[in-house]
Amino acid sequence: MRIIFLMLPVTVLLLLAGSCTAEQPAAPAASQPEFKPTATVKDIMDSIVDPNADLIWESVASTVSDKGIEDKMPKTDEEWAQVRRYAIALMESANLLLVPGRQIAKPGDKAEDSNIELEPEEIQAIVDNDRATWMERALVLHDNTLVALKAIEAKDAQALLFSGDGIDQACEGCHIKYWYPKDSEAVRLYEERMKEAAEAK
């Protein structure tokens, strides 16, 4: 009888040890990366952000020529649906910029004009040191594109035209901080523009 009492704690311990090892296979799954950021920030700019922003900006315009003032804007349902696709792509590209582990550029990539542009590794260091500011600038792109999306869904060409300025401000607000902060003219123009926007409110 005595021997059974002694054995009991040992059995409990073995069971506990067994349950620990049984849980282990779950651990590697938990450390799997949530995202697979293959393209760089530069790639996303070139493939998604820039082309879609251009298509939105080009969808509404007033052109003055010898034929008079020509207003270009989406007219048919299909044209509105098309510009909506550009806005969705641009708005969601802001989230792609926030994927953890996304690199600014490929290793060895160099700035085109080092007089005004930072090198990709300098940009990377600034982003890594202060992700909150990077996130904030990317979300301005999201929110200012949402203004365009709402204009599109309301089929309001005038509001869509105005929203283009907000999208451009989002590009500049990020670029003068990370890409070409040494371009003092670009920085000055951006600050002036923000001041005017604040005064207009």
Cβ closer to ligand HEC: 28 or 107? 107
Interface positions with ligand HEC (CB under 6 A): 41-42, 45-46, 49-50, 53, 97, 104-105, 120, 123, 134, 137-138, 141, 167, 170-171, 174-175, 178-179
Nearer to ligand HEC, 66 or 140 (CB): 140
**Which tokens go with 187?**
């920085």
Contact 158, 73 (CB under 8 A): no
Neighbour tally for 18: CB within 10 Å:
9
**Least CB distance from residue 77 to ligand HEC, whole Å?**
26
Nearer to ligand HEC, 41 or 87 (CB): 41
Nearer to ligand HEC, 97 or 157 (CB): 97
Minimum distance, C-beta of residue 182 to ligand HEC, in the bound complex (Å):
13
- The least distance separating ligand HEC from the CB of residue 114, rounded to whole angstroms, comes to 11
Q: For ligand HEC, which is the closer residue by CB, 157 or 174? A: 174
Nearest to 42 by CA among 143, 149, 120: 120
C-beta of 46 vs 70, nearer to ligand HEC? 46
Question: Least separation, in Å, of the C-beta of 76 and ligand HEC?
Answer: 25
Task: Report the C-alpha gap between 93 and 37 in whole angstroms.
Answer: 13
Minimal distance, residue 69 CB to ligand HEC, in Å = 27
Query: 38-45 long-range CB contacts below 8 Å, 24 or more apart?
Result: 39/102, 40/102, 40/103, 40/104, 40/105, 40/106, 40/109, 41/97, 41/102, 41/103, 41/104, 41/105, 42/104, 42/105, 42/106, 42/109, 42/120, 44/93, 44/96, 44/97, 44/102
Closest residue by Cα to residue 168 from 184, 145, 152: 145
Find the shortest distance in angstroms from Cβ 180 to ligand HEC: 9
